[in-house]
Chain A
Amino acid sequence: MTVAALKDREPILRMQEVDKTFSGQVVALRRMSLQVNEGDFISLLGPSGCGKSTALRLIAGLMPPTLGRIMWEDGEGKDDIGVVFQEPTLMPWATVEKNVYLPFRLRGQSLRSVRDRIHEVLALVGLEKFGERYPRELSGGMKMRVSIARAIATNPRLILMDEPFAALDEITRQKLNDDLLALKASTGATVIFVTHSVFESVFLSDRILVMAARPGRVIEEIDVTAPYPRGLEWRTSPRYGEIARQTSDALNGALHPAGGLVA
């Protein structure tokens, strides 16, 4: 995708000057603004306590902002979200198929009417043969794939991912990063991805919001102007290194305010 195409995207969500304060004093997020466009892959990158998960929970509608507004362009987008948490968050008592069925079930759709779709997304994450298995029979990476399948099953307008691969080993993680990009390419999904890994954010996203803690805020926005599909070539290119460097510097500024990056 080119930079020109980026600009043509339709906005689907706007955060305007959003503040979140807990118990009246702990400022989790200060004056965060963000426009999410159709097809974006946005990473929220920062250290613990920078409010990146808070931002995600606000967008998911799990809690209201203290100040500011979160607006969906069509007014009803918040009913159409897929989520992947850091843990796979599967129902242990249900088979893989029934777990992916959950969002349909809660909308009142019968299993029969969506079974084909469930098998389709399970095939997309490479688990077509595991529909009848229980989560405990799967490895950590496979559980995460089920979780991703569930998130994309209903073709939601926006997919929120909260450090989904943080608990996995590096090899599984790279594989899942590759697969996630392939999934995004084939579904055109819009993704907001929370991570504390510079390399993951540079590899995956077309926009990185670098955040700092105390109070949680966005300190820099970095566009990653590299075309998709991305693979090993991108991961080893000089441009990748350059952006990773730039991102790391911004992040260091967040960790050591004395560096002068923070006003």
Chain B
Amino acid sequence: MTLNPEVDTAKDIRPDRGPMFDADEERRARRKRTEEIAKYVIPVTVMALAIFFWDRLVVWNEIEPYVLPRPGLVLSTLIEDWETLSASLLVTLQITGLALLVAVVGGVGLAVLFSLSRFAEMSFSPFAVILQVTPIVSIAPLIFIYVESRLIGLLLCAWIVAFFPILANTTLGLKSADHNLRDLFTIYRANRWQRLIHLQLPSALPYFLGGLKIAGGLALIGAVVAEYVAGTGGIGSGLAFRILEAGYRLQIPRMFAALILIAITGVIIYATTSLIAHFALRKWHESALKRE
């Protein structure tokens, strides 16, 4: 088929695309379709290639498995040790999930309190900042001395790391309502509560969801780091403990398997929070809009 529009226009004019449809537009549409496919194909291909070269690197250089295992060995270890690893994964997931939940409730609650009372903000925000800027690894040992329950200790550590972005973002969001809308609410005699529910919280939603994306990853980091500090010991050990344990025993393939599980968990958390943000905002917010 020739692309010369003078020859082919008559044939190309389709009622569903309108009379403006021409070769140039078709080219653009095709490029868009290609991009649509490439969006998925390229990352997958590159990832597969990277794994392939990892494998070749080990084989060609005859690297011992206790230095760098082949990807196949990591996979088979993952399957063999699935019982132990999955139990640990569950523990890490629980701590991460719970910490994130408490961070959301605490962060949003504190942000609302701050927006309702300047005094509360002045009194408590220094504590929030101090907790945030002090590295969690340096606080964690104290926490594990003071807190009896290991689970609560881990939860506390993960929460400290995760809650700040939610607090900071939501506080900013609650203050970011359009000033004309605020005037409008004043003119309509809205009370504090109505203002919060109908104006400030919806305005803060995009900010909160941005904070949630960051907090999701941080909760996982917090959970893992805290477990390193808590060290070995006791029941209900998470993935970080498995990595430590495998390290002591020089079970490098197992270390890789646990590491991969943590990475996958992080990616899934990020994807989930992004999806939540997308669905919550797609109707109205600039960040979720498609431009033609």
Contacts and interface: CB of A to CB of B under 8 A. Distances in A.
Interface string A91-113: 11110000000110111000000
Nearest to B206: A93
Interface stretch (A79-87, A115-123, A246-254): A79-87
A72 interface: no
Contacts of B199: 91
Interface string B156-184: 00000000000000000000001011011
Contacts, number: 51
A91 B188 CA distance: 15
B205 interface: yes
Q: Chain B CB within 10 Å — which of A81, A91, A103, A135 has the most?
A: A91
A62 B186 contact: yes
A13 B70 CA distance: 85
A105 B190 CA distance: 10
Interface stretch (B88-96, B239-247, B263-271, B282-290): B282-290
A83 B284 contact: no
A91 B205 CA distance: 13
Interface string B183-194: 111111110001
B269 to A, nearest CB: 26
Interface string B8-37: 000000000000000000000000000000
Contacts of A60: 183, 187
Nearest to A81: B187
A229 interface: no
A106 B199 CA distance: 11
A62 B183 CA distance: 7
A105 B188 CA distance: 10
B214 to A, nearest CB: 22
Nearest to A154: B188
A93 B178 contact: no
Contact of B187 (A62, A105, A134): A62
Interface residues of A, number: 22
B65 interface: no
A89 B180 contact: yes
- The main secondary structure of chain B at its interface with chain A is helix
Contacts of A61: 186-187
A91 B203 CA distance: 9
B284 A87 contact: no
B236 interface: no
**Which bucket holds chain B's interface residue count?**
20 to 34
B188 A102 contact: yes
Nearest to A90: B181
Contacts of A134: 283-284
B202 interface: yes
Contact of A106 (B180, B189, B205, B284): B189
Nearest to A104: B188
B284 A136 contact: yes
Interface string A210-243: 0000000000000000000000000000000000
B198 interface: yes
Contacts of B284: 92-93, 134-136
A89 B187 contact: no
Nearest to B190: A106
Contacts of B185: 106
Nearest to A88: B180
A77 to B, nearest CB: 12
A130 to B, nearest CB: 15
Interface in A47-95: 57, 60-62, 79, 81, 83, 85, 87, 89, 91-94
Contacts of B202: 91, 93-94
A62 B184 CA distance: 9
B184 A83 contact: yes
8 contacts: A60-B187, A85-B183, A89-B180, A102-B188, A106-B198, A107-B188, A134-B283, A134-B284
Interface of A: 57, 60-62, 79, 81, 83, 85, 87, 89, 91-94, 102-103, 105-107, 134-136
Given A89-B178, A102-B188, 18 more contacts: A57-B183, A60-B187, A62-B186, A81-B187, A89-B180, A89-B184, A91-B198, A91-B199, A91-B202, A92-B285, A93-B285, A102-B198, A106-B188, A106-B189, A107-B188, A134-B284, A135-B284, A136-B289
